[in-house]
C-alpha cells in the first residue's frame, strides 16, 4: 500500500464536552494533512447526543421504558413518560436554540411554559438573590442572575436544565452509565484489571451502545478509511472507544485501529493485557505525531514492527512495547489544527453554572490551540512532571502561533480561542499579544497560566488588549506552608496581587483549588478557605474549583513520598490501568467531610453569597477559628 491509498479517520469517542470539539482529532488531522496524508475526522460524542436527543431518539427511549416492568420506573421516568408528547415536540426546537440556529425561541423558553419541567428545575427554587435574600422584591428566582433583559441567557439555562432532565431519564431507564461529559467512567478509571471493561463489552449493547456503534459504522461507510485513530483523553471516553473499535473490527477486520490520548499516556504506561488488542492493533504513548508516522509506514509495509515508536503491539499473544527512540516532531512543525469535516454549527452551548467564568467551559465554540507543548515550570510535586505532556517543554514563535490563529479564523469563521496549555508561559503570551496587536487581529482568548509575578498590571492590560477575557491558574491549597511543600513557586500574597492585576484589567480569574494534600490539617483547611473568601471579597478571583488531591505514580509525591510525610499503599496487581496510588497520611484528617464544606462555600462565593460570614459556618461540626488575619489580602494588595 502507498501513502496515497492510506486514508486515516480520527474519531472523538464519547463522552467529551458538548459545546466544542475535543481538539485531538483537529490536531492529528491538521498534522497528517501537512504531511500529505489523506485524513478526516468525526465527533461521535456529538453525533451520539444529537441522535439520542432527537424526536426519534426519545421515541426509542420511551420504547425501552415501556418494555421494562412498570415497577422499575423511577419517579422522574414516570414524569417523563406522562409528559412525553411535550418532550417529543420540544426536543428538536430546544436543541436548535442551544446550537444557536433559532435564537428567537429564547422568548418562549424564558416564559417557562414552553419546555416541560422535570426535577432539575427544582434547583431554581434554591437560588438566592444576594440583594434580596428573602424574595421580598418580586418572585422571579432567576431575576438576580439574568436581570430583566437577559432573556437569551435565561432561556439557555432553562434549556440546559431540560436536557439534564432527559439525561437523568436516560440514566434511569436505558443506561445507568450515561452522563453528558463521561460515559461508563468507572470501568476505566484506575482499573488495574481489564476484567470489568471486558465484561461490559461482552454484555448486550444498551440503546446508547447500539446507537454509538451504528454511528461509527456510518462514519466508516462515509469516509472509507484504511486506518482509524481513536483518542481517549479521559477515563470517561474509554468504554465508548472500545465499543467503537468493537463495531469497526467486527464489520471491517481489515481496517487498522490505533488507540492513544491522555488516558493512555497517564494510565496505560505498563499495559500488559493482550485482550486490549482484540479491539486495537496498536496503542501509542505520549505526543501522537511521531508514533503515528511510524505506524502508518509499518502498515504500508515500509517499516518493520521492530522499528515502531512508543507503541504497544501484540505479538504471539503477548503485549510488547516497541520504541526505537526517534525524536518527536518539534512543536513548530506539527502543523495547524483543522476542524474541517466537523459540524461546527451543531455544537450546543450549555449554561449549567450561573457564573460568568464557569460558563466558558460549556458555552460557546472555542478553537482550541496550544501556545507551547508541556510546562515550562514542571516542578509541582503533585503533578505528572515525569511524563512527556508536562516535562517536554517546546514552544513555537509568536509569528508561528499568530499564523495558526489566522488560518483557524479563516477556516472556522470564529474568533474565540481557548489555549489549552498546562501553563502558558508569560513570555510567550506577551510576545503573542504583541504580534496579535501588530497584525490588528481581533480575537477573544482564555487559557491556563501560573500566577507568576511577571504578570504585572501592565502585562495584564496588554493581554486584555490582545483579546484575553479570562485566565485560570492553580492556587491549590491556599497555604504558604503547603505551597512550598508542593514546590508551586507562588505564595498566597503573590497570587492575590497577580489575580487582582488580571481582574483590574477586566479579565475573569478562575482558581484551581486543592484539598487533602499530604500533612494538610483541619486548621490548614479552614485557613485556606479564609484566604479564598478574602480573594473573592477583594475581587481578585471570580470562580474556582476544589479538587481532592490524588497521588499519581508519575508525580514527585508518588515517586518519593517520604519528604511529604506519607507512605504509599502497594498498587493492586493487574496489567491494565495504573495511575492513582493510595497513601497513608498520619494526620488522619477526614478530607471527605471537609471537602463537602469547601465545595458548598465556593459554590456560594461564586454567586456572591456568604462573603462576609465566618468560614466556620460552612463546616458540619466544630472546626477551629481561622488563623489568617482578617485583612490579609487587603494588606497584600496594598503592599503591591
Ligand atoms: S501543576 Fe501546572 S505549573 Fe505545576 S508543573 Fe504541573 S503543569 Fe506545571
The dihedral sign for the CA sequence 158, 163, 168, 172:
positive
CA of 379 to the centre of ligand 1 (A): 7
Count of residues in the chain: 640
Task: State the DSSP string of 72-101.
Answer: G--HHHHHHHHTHHHHHHHHHHHHHHHTTS
Rounded to 5 degrees, φ, ψ at 373 are: -85, 135
pLDDT reported for residue 214: 98
Task: State the DSSP string of 106-129.
Answer: HHHHHTTSSS---GGGGGGGG--B
> pLDDT-derived band of residue 147, with 50, 70 and 90 as boundaries?
confident
Residue with cell 418580586: 138
> pLDDT-derived band of residue 182, with 50, 70 and 90 as boundaries?
confident
Task: Please report, in angstroms and rounded to a whole number, the separation of the first and last CA atoms in the chain.
Answer: 65
CA of 425 to the centre of ligand 1 (A): 11
Euclidean distance between CA atoms 209 and 201, whole angstroms: 10
Q: Is the Cβ–Cβ distance between 97 and 106 less than 8 Å?
A: yes
Ligand 1 in reach of 376 Cβ (< 6 A): no
Ligand 1 in reach of 375 Cβ (< 6 A): yes
pLDDT digit string, tens, across residues 571-625:
999 999 999 999 999 999 999 999 999 999 999 999 889 999 999 999 998 999 9
Residue with cell 487533602: 516
Q: Are strands 394-395 and 318-322 parallel, antiparallel or unpaired?
A: unpaired
pLDDT reported for residue 577: 94
The closest-lying atom of ligand 1 relative to the alpha carbon of residue 378 is 5
Ligand 1 in reach of 383 Cβ (< 6 A): yes
Task: Tell me whether the omega of the peptide bond preceding residue 15 falls within 30 degrees of 0, making it cis.
Answer: yes
Q: Which residues contact 464 (CB under 8 A, 6 or more apart)?
A: 505, 506, 507
Nearest-CA residue for atom 4 of ligand 1? 380
> pLDDT-derived band of residue 146, with 50, 70 and 90 as boundaries?
confident
The closest-lying atom of ligand 1 relative to the alpha carbon of residue 375 is 8
Distance of CA 567 to CAs 373, 439, 492, 557, Å? 33, 54, 28, 10
> pLDDT-derived band of residue 356, with 50, 70 and 90 as boundaries?
confident
pLDDT digit string, tens, across residues 397-447:
999 999 999 999 999 999 999 999 999 999 999 999 999 999 999 999 999
pLDDT digit string, tens, across residues 206-264:
999 999 999 999 999 999 999 999 999 999 999 999 999 999 999 999 999 999 999 99
CA of 552 to the centre of ligand 1 (A): 14
pLDDT digit string, tens, across residues 470-486:
999 999 999 999 999 99
Q: Which residues contact 509 (CB under 8 A, 6 or more apart)?
A: 357, 470, 471, 472, 473, 499, 502, 503, 540, 541, 542, 543
Ligand 1 in reach of 303 Cβ (< 6 A): no
Q: Is the Cβ–Cβ distance between 166 and 79 less than 8 Å?
A: no
Q: What is the mean pLDDT of residues 7-16?
A: 95
Mutate which of 372, 384, 422, 449 for ligand 1 pocket (most atoms within 8 A of beta carbon): 422
CA of 377 to the centre of ligand 1 (A): 6
State the number of CA atoms in the 13 A half-sphere of 605 facing the CB: 32
Neighbours of 356 (CB within 10 A): 15
Q: Is the Cβ–Cβ distance between 156 and 349 less than 8 Å?
A: yes
Quote the mean pLDDT of the chain: 94
Q: Is the Cβ–Cβ distance between 283 and 312 less than 8 Å?
A: yes
Query: 134 pLDDT exceeds 60?
Result: no
Nearest-CA residue for atom 7 of ligand 1? 422
Rounded to 5 degrees, φ, ψ at 584 are: -110, 120
State the number of CA atoms in the 13 A half-sphere of 528 facing the CB: 30
| C-alpha cell belonging to residue 149 | 433583559
Neighbours of 505 (CB within 10 A): 18
Ligand 1 in reach of 380 Cβ (< 6 A): yes
pLDDT digit string, tens, across residues 491-533:
999 999 999 999 999 999 999 999 999 999 999 999 999 999 9
| C-alpha cell belonging to residue 376 | 515550562
In percent, how much of the chain has pLDDT > 90?
90
Query: 633 pLDDT exceeds 70?
Result: yes
pLDDT digit string, tens, across residues 286-343:
999 999 999 999 999 999 999 999 999 999 999 999 999 999 999 999 999 999 999 9
> pLDDT-derived band of residue 354, with 50, 70 and 90 as boundaries?
confident
Ligand 1 in reach of 385 Cβ (< 6 A): yes
Q: Is the Cβ–Cβ distance between 178 and 208 less than 8 Å?
A: yes
The closest-lying atom of ligand 1 relative to the alpha carbon of residue 488 is 4
CA of 79 to the centre of ligand 1 (A): 46
* Measured torsion, CA atoms of residues 215, 217, 222, 224, in degrees rounded to the nearest 10: 150
Q: Which of 550, 569, 472 is nearest to 267 (CA)?
A: 550
Based on the number of CB atoms within 10 Å of its own CB, is 390 exposed (0-12), middle (13-18) or buried (19 or more)? buried
Query: What three-state secondary structure class fits 361?
Result: helix
pLDDT reported for residue 131: 55
Amino acid at each position: 500500500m502507498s501513502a496515497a491509498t492510506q486514508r486515516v479517520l480520527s474519531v472523538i469517542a464519547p463522552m467529551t464536552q458538548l459545546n466544542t470539539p475535543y481538539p485531538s482529532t483537529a490536531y492529528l488531522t491538521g498534522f497528517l494533512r501537512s504531511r500529505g496524508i489523506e485524513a478526516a475526522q468525526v465527533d461521535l460524542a456529538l453525533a451520539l447526543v444529537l441522535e439520542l436527543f432527537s424526536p426519534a431518539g426519545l421515541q426509542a427511549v420511551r420504547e425501552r421504558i415501556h418494555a421494562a416492568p412498570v415497577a422499575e420506573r423511577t419517579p422522574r421516568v414516570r414524569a417523563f413518560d406522562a409528559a412525553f408528547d411535550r418532550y417529543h415536540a420540544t426536543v428538536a426546537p430546544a436543541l436548535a436554540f442551544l446550537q444557536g440556529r433559532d435564537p428567537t425561541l429564547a422568548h418562549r423558553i424564558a416564559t417557562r411554559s414552553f419546555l416541560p419541567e422535570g426535577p432539575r428545575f427544582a434547583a431554581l427554587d434554591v437560588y438566592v438573590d444576594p440583594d434580596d435574600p428573602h424574595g421580598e422584591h418580586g418572585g422571579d428566582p432567576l431575576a438576580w442572575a439574568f436581570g430583566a433583559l437577559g432573556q437569551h441567557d435565561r432561556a439557555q439555562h432553562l434549556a440546559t436544565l431540560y436536557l439534564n432532565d432527559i439525561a437523568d431519564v436516560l440514566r434511569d431507564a436505558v443506561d445507568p452509565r450515561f452522563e453528558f461529559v463521561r460515559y461508563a467512567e468507572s470501568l476505566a478509571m484506575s482499573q488495574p484489571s481489564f476484567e470489568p471493561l471486558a465484561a461490559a463489552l461482552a454484555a448486550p449493547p444498551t440503546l446508547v451502545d447500539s446507537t454509538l456503534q451504528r454511528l461509527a459504522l456510518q462514519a466508516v461507510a462515509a469516509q472509507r478509511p484504511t486506518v482509524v485513530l481513536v483518542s481517549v483523553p479521559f477515563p470517561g471516553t474509554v468504554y465508548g472507544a472500545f465499543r467503537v473499535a468493537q463495531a469497526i473490527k467486527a464489520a471491517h477486520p481489515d481496517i487498522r485501529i490505533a488507540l492513544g490520548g491522555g488516558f493512555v499516556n497517564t494510565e496505560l504506561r505498563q499495559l500488559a493485557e493482550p485482550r486490549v488488542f482484540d479491539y486495537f492493533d496498536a496503542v501509542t504513548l505520549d505526543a501522537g505525531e511521531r508514533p503515528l508516522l511510524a505506524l502508518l509506514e509499518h502498515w504500508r509495509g515500509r517499516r518493520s514492527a521492530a522499528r515502531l515508536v512508543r507503541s504497544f503491539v501484540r505479538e504471539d499473544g503477548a503485549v510488547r512495547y516497541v520504541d526505537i527512540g526517534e525524536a518527536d516532531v518539534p512543536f513548530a512543525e506539527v502543523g495547524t489544527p483543522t476542524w474541517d469535516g466537523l459540524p461546527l454549527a451543531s455544537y450546543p452551548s450549555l449554561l449549567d453554572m450561573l457564573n460568568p467564568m464557569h460558563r466558558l467551559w460549556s458555552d460557546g465554540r472555542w478553537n482550541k490551540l496550544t501556545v507551547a507543548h508541556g510546562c515550562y515550570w514542571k516542578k509541582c510535586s503533585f503533578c505528572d512532571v515525569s511524563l512527556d505532556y508536562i516535562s517536554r517543554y517546546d514552544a513555537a514563535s509568536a509569528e508561528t502561533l499568530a499564523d495558526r490563529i489566522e488560518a483557524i479564523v479563516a477556516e472556522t469563521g470564529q474568533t474565540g480561542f481557548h489555549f489549552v496549555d498546562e501553563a502558558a508561559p508569560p513570555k510567550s503570551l506577551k510576545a503573542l499579544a504583541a504580534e496579535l496587536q501588530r497584525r490588528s487581529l481581533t480575537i477573544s482568548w482564555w487559557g491556563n497560566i501560573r500566577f507568576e509575578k511577571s504578570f504585572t498590571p501592565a502585562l495584564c492590560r496588554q493581554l486584555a488588549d490582545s483579546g484575553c477575557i479570562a485566565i485560570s491558574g492553580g492556587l491549590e491549597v491556599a497555604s504558604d506552608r503547603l505551597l512550598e511543600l508542593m514546590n508551586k513557586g507562588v505564595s498566597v500574597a503573590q497570587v492575590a496581587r497577580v489575580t487582582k492585576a488580571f481582574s483590574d484589567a477586566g479579565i475573569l480569574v478562575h482558581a484551581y483549588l486543592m484539598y487533602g494534600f499530604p500533612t494538610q490539617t483541619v486548621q490548614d483547611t479552614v485557613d485556606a478557605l479564609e484566604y479564598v473568601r478574602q480573594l473573592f471579597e477583594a475581587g481578585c478571583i471570580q470562580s474556582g474549583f476544589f479538587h481532592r488531591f490524588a497521588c499519581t505514580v508519575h508525580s514527585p509525591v508518588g515517586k518519593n513520598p517520604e519528604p511529604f510525610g506519607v507512605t504509599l499503599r502497594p498498587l493492586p496487581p493487574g496489567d491494565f490501568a495504573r495511575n492513582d496510588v493510595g497513601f497513608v497520611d498520619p494526620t488522619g484528617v477526614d478530607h471527605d467531610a471537609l471537602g463537602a464544606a469547601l465545595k458548598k462555600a465556593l459554590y456560594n462565593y461564586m454567586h456572591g453569597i456568604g462573603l462576609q460570614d465566618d468560614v466556620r459556618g460552612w463546616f458540619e461540626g466544630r472546626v477551629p477559628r481561622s488563623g489568617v488575619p482578617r485583612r490579609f489580602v487587603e494588606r497584600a494588595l496594598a503592599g503591591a
